[in-house]
């Protein structure tokens, strides 16, 4: 039998004054699983979290935790009765309470049990011995760990996190983020985390839900979302992409890089072929000719270097292509800085290209 999801969101919609901000959102998060809600600013990520938390009420749909209805069109449990923990970027510790009092704030039960839980959590976030300190005596990263301990203290089944690490500097962030998520996994908490940074989502998530204009447009493991994007915008959200156009004839489209499969497209339809700069291969000009065509790489097309930049772990080369006078980008995982004006030949990995309808 399939495991009951810790968090289940079914067809949730939310509007403000008639403007739909969250549209028919459904998702499920298993115990110990991390799902990232990823999308551009204003697409409705935070509103989705607030609806799940119960601080905003949906217009349609329902929210379940461990199979129990928290909110539907009849019932609506208040936020504190949902078994859901919250962690936001602007987490606020109570300044007049000690670290230990902050952590035990949401706990009920006998004093000795509460105190044992606080000690355990402060140890787990590497702040053993900090209990009697005041929040203002702590660094930003330490305060964030106190906030995490406070959110974890009542053993929430679900943790909702809204850009929780973006206030930290880069060096601190990686460590705190990895430790935090490890801790949540060990506790079996289902985590739904909002971010607008694809790299952060790829690094953290077991599952990514890609959101746009209030809707989830694609859901899946990071590998699948990256390698099988549902449309051009989804592909472009994760990295720079190159676009060339073609017209379909007999389920194939002919381009300067050879033929591409376009199954399901009717004859005469215009398509866009999308590929990432790291899937472009560069070859030297051999007396006006490029490399011989192969099944994987297709046909070479000539371009002239416009500029080349060293990016640290790779070089980015921009070409003006002979066949359409447009710019294509290629990355090379080494120092490769050909002079502007150098003619070179490009081939693209055909198995790493995506064909989508032309957007007009
Ligand atoms: N209480 C509210 N009343 C009216 N409009 C709202 C309210 N809350 C959010 N909105 C609008 O809903 C849209 C989505 O906002 P939301 O904060 O959910 O997006 P987001 O994806 O989290 O963006 P960001 O990454 O910038 O925080 C925005 O246009 C916002 O102005």
| 148 in the same domain as 21 | yes
Residues 195 and 252 in one domain: no
The answer on 323 and 353 residing in a single domain is yes
Copy the structure tokens of residue 300. Answer: 């070479």
Residue-wise pLDDT tens digits, 150-205? 988 988 999 999 987 776 677 777 877 888 888 889 889 999 999 999 998 999 99
User: Of 176, 198, 231, which one is at a domain's C-terminal end?
Assistant: 231
Give residue-wise pLDDT tens across range 34-87: 999 999 989 999 999 999 999 999 999 999 999 999 999 999 999 889 999 988
CA of 159 to the centre of ligand 1 (A): 20
Range of the domain at 328: 239-357
CATH of the domain at 291: 2.40.50.140
CA 95, 99, 101, 103 torsion-angle sign? positive
**Number of the ligand 1 atom closest to the C-alpha atom of 47:** 18
Where is the domain boundary, 167, 196, 231? 231
Residue 1 falls inside a structural domain? no
Residue closest via CA to ligand 1's atom 30 equals: 42
Residue-wise pLDDT for 226-243, tens only, equals 999 999 999 999 989 999
Domain CATH for 79: 3.40.50.300
Instruction: Please give the angle made by the CA atoms of 103, 200 and 217, to the nearest 5 degrees.
Output: 110
Cα(85) to centroid of ligand 1, in Å? 21
ipTM of the complex: 0.93
18 CB under 6 A from ligand 1?
A: no
Residues β-bridged to residue 321: 303
CA of 42 to the centre of ligand 1 (A): 5
Same domain, 251 and 328: yes
DSSP 37: E
Please give the backbone phi and psi of residue 223, each rounded to the nearest 5 degrees, phi first.
-60, -45
Report the predicted TM-score, pTM, of the whole model to 2 decimal places.
Answer: 0.86
């Amino acid at each position: 039998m399939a495991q009951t999801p810790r968090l289940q969101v079914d067809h949730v919609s939310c509007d403000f004054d008639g403007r739909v901000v969250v549209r028919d959102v459904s998702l499920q998060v298993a115990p110990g699983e991390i799902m990232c809600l990823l999308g551009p600013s204003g697409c409705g990520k935070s509103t989705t979290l607030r609806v799940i938390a119960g601080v905003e009420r949906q217009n349609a749909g329902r929210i379940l935790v461990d199979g129990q209805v928290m909110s539907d069109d009849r019932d609506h449990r208040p936020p504190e009765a949902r078994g859901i923990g919250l962690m936001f970027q602007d987490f606020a510790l109570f300044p007049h309470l000690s670290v230990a009092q902050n952590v035990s704030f949401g706990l009920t039960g006998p004093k000795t049990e509460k105190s044992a839980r606080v000690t355990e959590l402060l140890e787990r976030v590497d702040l053993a011995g900090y209990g009697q300190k005041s929040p203002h005596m702590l660094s930003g990263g330490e305060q964030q760990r106190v906030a995490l301990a406070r959110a974890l203290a009542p053993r929430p089944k679900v943790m909702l996190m809204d850009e929780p690490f973006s206030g930290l500097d880069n060096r601190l962030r990686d460590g705190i983020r990895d430790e935090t998520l490890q801790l949540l996994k060990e506790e079996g908490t289902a985590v739904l985390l909002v971010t607008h940074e694809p790299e952060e989502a790829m690094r953290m998530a077991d599952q990514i839900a890609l959101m746009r204009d209030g809707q989830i447009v694609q859901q899946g493991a990071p590998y699948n979302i990256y390698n099988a994007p549902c449309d051009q915008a989804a592909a472009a959200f994760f990295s720079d992409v190159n676009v060339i156009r073609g017209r379909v004839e007999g389920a194939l489209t002919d381009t300067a890089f050879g033929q591409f499969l376009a199954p399901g497209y009717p004859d005469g339809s215009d398509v866009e072929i999308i590929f990432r700069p790291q899937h472009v291969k560069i070859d030297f000009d051999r007396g006006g000719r490029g490399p011989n065509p192969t099944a994987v790489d297709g046909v070479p097309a000539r371009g002239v270097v416009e500029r080349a930049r060293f990016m640290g772990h790779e070089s980015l080369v921009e070409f003006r292509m002979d066949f359409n006078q447009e710019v294509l980008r290629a990355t090379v995982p080494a120092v490769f800085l050909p002079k502007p004006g150098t003619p070179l030949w490009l081939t693209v990995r055909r198995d790493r290209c995506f064909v989508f309808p032309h957007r007009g």
